[in-house]
C-alpha cells in the first residue's frame, strides 16, 4: 500500500507540472497565464552601441577623403635657346644692330633666352609685371646682358631693355620674372657662356681680323665644349673686308634645362669664317 501511495503522488505531481508549467498553452486564470499577458520589457541598449536606425544615416554623413589634385598641365614649351652673342662680330658686321656701347665688350654676352613652342599652340602669356623682382641681380645682368645699342650702361637705363626682353620672350617662358632672369644667368655662367672665349682658346681658336678657321673645326670645338651636343652658329659679313664672321652661337636645352643638340643648321656659308677681333 505504501508503494502504491507513492506512485499515485508522483503521478499527480507530474500532471500538475504539465498543466501549470506548459508556457505554450497556459490554463486560463493560472499564474502562468497572467505572467504571459504582461508586456515584455525592451532590452536596454549598451551605451557603447550605435543605434541600428542611425547606421545608414551615419554612412551618409561620414567625411569623405579629399579628391586628388588634378595633374599639372603639360608644358607647352618644348625647349629653350640660349643665344650667346660675340659683340665684336655683332658690331663690325652687317648684323642690323647699330652698336653704341663703348668700349665694345671683348667677351661673349647674353643675347637672350628664348622659349620654343608650336606657333599654333603657344604658352599662356604671363601677366606678371616686370619691376623690382630683379633688384638683387641687376649687377650681374649689367655685366653679362648689356644693351649693345646704348652708350650708357647704367642699371636704371638697362631696366627698360631687360623689361622688353621679358615682354617678348620671358612672359612666354612659363617662368616668373625673377626665375627667368636667374635661369638665364645660371645657364650663361658656364662653359658655353661666361667661359666660352677661354674654352675656344683651349681649342686654338682665338679672335682675329685676319686669320680664319674652318667652320667645321669651330663646330667641332663648340660641340666638345658643350658636352658633345651640337649648336647653331650665326654669321654675318664683316664691313671692312667682307669676310664671313661669327656673330652669335645658339645652344638648346630641354624644357627642364638639360642640354640637347640644336639641329637648326648654322647660318654660315663657310668653309672659312672669322672669330673677329675689333679692328
Residue-wise pLDDT tens digits, 217-271 = 999 999 999 999 999 999 999 999 899 999 999 999 999 999 999 999 999 999 9
pLDDT, position 278:
83
* 275/102 Cα distance (integer angstroms): 20
Q: Which three cell numbers stand for residue 87?
A: 659683340
Q: Report the DSSP beta bridge partners of residue 213.
A: 273
CB 206 within 8 A of CB 46: no
- Give the model's pLDDT for residue 49: 54
Q: 108 and 234 in contact (C-beta within 8 Å)?
A: no
Instruction: In whole angstroms, give the CA distance from residue 41 to residue 46.
Output: 15
Could you tell me the three cell numbers for 252?
638648346
Looking at residue 110, what is its pLDDT?
98
Residues of the chain with CATH 3.90.730.10: 86-95+199-279, 109-192
Taken as a whole, the chain contains a residue count of: 279
Contacts 24+ apart (CB under 8 A), 51-60: none
- Tell the CATH topology of 109-192: Ribonuclease Rh; Chain A (3.90.730)
Nearest by Cα to 94 from 190, 238, 228, 232: 238
pLDDT number for residue 35: 46
Q: Which residues of the chain have a pLDDT value below 70?
A: 1-63, 69-72
Q: Helix or strand or coil: residue 57?
A: helix
| pTM greater than the 0.85 cutoff | no
Superfamily of domain 86-95+199-279: Ribonuclease T2-like (3.90.730.10)
The pLDDT of residue 47 is 53
So what's the pLDDT on residue 57?
47
Residue 71: count of CB within 10 angstroms of its CB: 6
Confidence (pLDDT) at 20: 47
Residue whose C-alpha cell reads 650665326 in the numeric block: 234
Amino acid at each position: 500500500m505504501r508503494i502504491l501511495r507513492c506512485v499515485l503522488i508522483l503521478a499527480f505531481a507530474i500532471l500538475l507540472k504539465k498543466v501549470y508549467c506548459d508556457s505554450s498553452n497556459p490554463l486560463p486564470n493560472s499564474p502562468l497565464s497572467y505572467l504571459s499577458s504582461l508586456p515584455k520589457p525592451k532590452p536596454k541598449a549598451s551605451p557603447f552601441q550605435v543605434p541600428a536606425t542611425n547606421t545608414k544615416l551615419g554612412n551618409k554623413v561620414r567625411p569623405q577623403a579629399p579628391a586628388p589634385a588634378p595633374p599639372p598641365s603639360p608644358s607647352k614649351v618644348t625647349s629653350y635657346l640660349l643665344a650667346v652673342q660675340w659683340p665684336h662680330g655683332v658690331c663690325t658686321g652687317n648684323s642690323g644692330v647699330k652698336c653704341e656701347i663703348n668700349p665694345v665688350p671683348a667677351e661673349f654676352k647674353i643675347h637672350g633666352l628664348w622659349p620654343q613652342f608650336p606657333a599654333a599652340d603657344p604658352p599662356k602669356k604671363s601677366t606678371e609685371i616686370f619691376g623690382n623682382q630683379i633688384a638683387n641681380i641687376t649687377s650681374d645682368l649689367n655685366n653679362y646682358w648689356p644693351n649693345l645699342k646704348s652708350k650708357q650702361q647704367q642699371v636704371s637705363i638697362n631696366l627698360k631693355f631687360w623689361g622688353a626682353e621679358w615682354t617678348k620672350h620671358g612672359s612666354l617662358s612659363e617662368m616668373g620674372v625673377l626665375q627667368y632672369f636667374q635661369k638665364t644667368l645660371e645657364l650663361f655662367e658656364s662653359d658655353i657662356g661666361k667661359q666660352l672665349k677661354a674654352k675656344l682658346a683651349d681649342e686654338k681658336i682665338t679672335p682675329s681680323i685676319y686669320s680664319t678657321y674652318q667652320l667645321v673645326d669651330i663646330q667641332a670645338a663648340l660641340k666638345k665644349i658643350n658636352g658633345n651636343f651640337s649648336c647653331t652658329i650665326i654669321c654675318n659679313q664683316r664691313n671692312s673686308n667682307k669676310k664671313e664672321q661669327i656673330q652669335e652661337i645658339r645652344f638648346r636645352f630641354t624644357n627642364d634645362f638639360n642640354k640637347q643638340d640644336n639641329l637648326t643648321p648654322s647660318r654660315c656659308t663657310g668653309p672659312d669664317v672669322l672669330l673677329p677681333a675689333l679692328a
